[in-house]
Amino acid sequence: MNYHLKIKNYAILVSKLIRYNLKIIFANKFFFFLLAGTAFFLLVTIINLFNSESNPTAASVYYLLLVPGILLIFYPTTFGIQNDIDSRMLEVLFGIPNYRYKVWLVRIGIMYLVVFALLIILALLSTVALTTFPIMSMVFQLMFPVFFLGSLAFMFSTIARNGYGTAVIMVIIGVAFWISSGFMMESKWNLFLNPFQFPSNVNEAIWADVILKNRIYLIVGTILTILAALLNLQKREKFV
């Protein structure tokens, strides 16, 4: 009986923790980023629907969904530290040395799960309105650049310690990545590599190897940037 009670209490505690962190993560301006991402998706979708010459493919849908994914992850990772500072929550977290890392890791996990769920909804709408494609495979591939950019923004937020400063840095980096993707279209170093855009002049096995290496690099980059952010958060005197 005690065992079941412990499980129930633990489940209640976890649900309260998730709800509390959701309020912190998606407070203030997150709604506007959600609105912007949804508006962009709907606008492009409507243009494609009313354009008789439009022929949407899985490759074009990948880029269509990538923009909302980046917008959705942008605010919580960029302004998370500043929101903690403004609400004086950062002082509380620094007062619990071993616990604060778990809090931020839980927040990052929640951010990614929410973005994942929202992208699934948008992908479902795309299959109905535009073209058919494997939904889970599409969202799975989208999460690699989204994970990396979100973790990169989190790391820079621990350096700049200001949401607007971090936003400027991330916009510059994002533009640089986007410009470089123009001449690194089929490169394993391309952040915006589209796995659904199969190049006609590349062997299928080689292309699969390029995609695999690209995804591995993004995973490694995501882990390293998160670790760097957590190391930066050890320097209490810079934040409090």
SS (H, E, C) the chain: CHHHHHHHHHHHHHHHHHHHHHHHHCCCCHHHHHHHHHHHHHHHHHHHHHCCCCCCCHHHHHHHHHHHHHHHHHHHHHHHHHHHHHCCHHHHHHCCCCHHHHHHHHHHHHHHHHHHHHHHHHHHHHHHHCCCCCHHHHHHHHHHHHHHHHHHHHHHHHHHCCHHHHHHHHHHHHHHHHHHHHHCCCCCCCCCCCCCCCCCCCCHHHHHHHHHHHHHHHHHHHHHHHHHHHHHCCCHHHCC
Mean pLDDT by 10 residues, the chain (240 residues): 66 70 68 77 80 80 90 83 65 60 79 89 90 91 93 89 85 88 82 87 86 94 92 67
The per-residue pLDDT for 48 is 78
Amino acid, res. 137: S
Q: CB-based contacts of 144: which residues, under 8 Å, 6+ apart?
A: 214, 215, 218, 219
| Distance in angstroms (rounded) separating the CA atoms of residues 154 and 166 | 9
Which pTM does this prediction carry?
0.84
CB 44 within 8 A of CB 64: yes
| Distance in angstroms (rounded) separating the CA atoms of residues 231 and 125 | 40
The per-residue pLDDT for 97 is 60
* Chain centre to alpha carbon of residue 7: 31
**Greatest C-alpha distance within the chain:** 66
